Amino acid sequence: MRKKLLRGLMAVPLVVLLSGCLFLLQGFVVLDGSLRPGEKTIARFTVRPATGEPERVYQFVVVGVPNGGNLNVGKAIWGTNGKFGGPKKMPVSPALPTAMQTADTCGQSGFSFSEVTGTKWKAFLLRVRTKGKVNQTARIDVTVKAPPGATGGAAYQVLGVTGVWVDQTGSGDVGEVDSGDTFICSGIGTSSIWVR
């Protein structure tokens, strides 16, 4: 039977010095930390509204795996526990990781998104309502797969970052993610997957 939780999980909550109109990371876990080539698992974010104020926000999740093709990131589903309008597919946002690295505003507690190297990022972005329901959490499930050609006998790091995108309408492309925008990271987690 597969392990359901991965040992060594670390989630780093970040201090948010803004109005709090976002979802904060409560946990990040890989449901199966040991895969054979061709198998897949879920990287799960658990998030909660930061305040009791009802807001609409563009919440993102970004999942990173090492370069080299031994792990791949698939789709993301918002609200798999049926909360905050879910379940709903989160669209891929190809521009988000590069814009976040260029903006260099995502980092605290010794972590800086812009300084991470050797990592292949995949980002997802969805406009959601916080509803002010601080007593509820939303789960976001992101598929991670060891492709058939993955090299076994090694552990590979999985990084998870979540937060809010704020479109700066006074610069860049309005309605499009670019480095002139604001990216408020509200949580970072790290785990790993052993490929057998």
Report domain extents, the chain: 10-195
Residues in contact with 16: Cβ distance below 8 Å, sequence separation at least 6, in sequence order: 22, 24, 50, 184, 186
Between CA 44 and CA 5 the distance in angstroms is 11
- Average pLDDT rounded to a whole number, residues 89-98: 97
User: Is the Cβ–Cβ distance between 76 and 61 less than 8 Å?
Assistant: yes
The predicted pLDDT at position 73 comes to 98
**DSSP letter assigned to residue 151:** P
- Whether the link from the prior residue into 87 is cis, omega within 30° of 0, is yes
Query: Are the CB atoms for 14 and 187 separated by under 8 Å?
Result: yes
Work out the average pLDDT over 136-164. 97
Q: Is the pLDDT of residue 169 over 90?
A: no
Q: What average pLDDT score do residues 90-105 get?
A: 94
pLDDT tens digits for range 179-194:
889 999 999 999 999 9
**What is the per-residue pLDDT for 174?**
78
Mean pLDDT, residues 32-41 taken together: 98
Which H/E stretch holds residue 97?
helix 96-103
What's the pLDDT band for 171 if we cut at 50, 70, 90? low
> What span, in angstroms and rounded, lies between the C-alpha atoms of 91 and 16?
25
Give me the CATH code for the 10-195 domain, please: 2.60.40.680
d(CA 147, CA 169): 40
Beta carbons within 10 angstroms of residue 30's beta carbon = 25
Task: With beta carbons less than 8 A apart as the criterion, state whether 90 and 145 touch.
Answer: no
Give pLDDT, residue 110. 76
The per-residue pLDDT of the chain, averaged, comes to 88
Instruction: Return the number of other C-beta atoms located less than 10 Å from residue 183's C-beta.
Output: 24
What is Dmax (Cα atoms) for the chain?
54
Burial 2-29 (b: 16+ CB within 10 A, else e): eeeebeeeebbebebeeebbbbbbebbb
Residue 88 has pLDDT above 60, yes or no: yes
pLDDT of res. 168: 83
Grade residue 20 by pLDDT with cuts at 50, 70 and 90.
low
Q: Which pLDDT value is given to residue 9?
A: 36
Query: What span, in angstroms and rounded, lies between the C-alpha atoms of 3 and 111?
Result: 28
Find the mean pLDDT for residues 44-66.
Answer: 95
pLDDT value at residue 107: 77
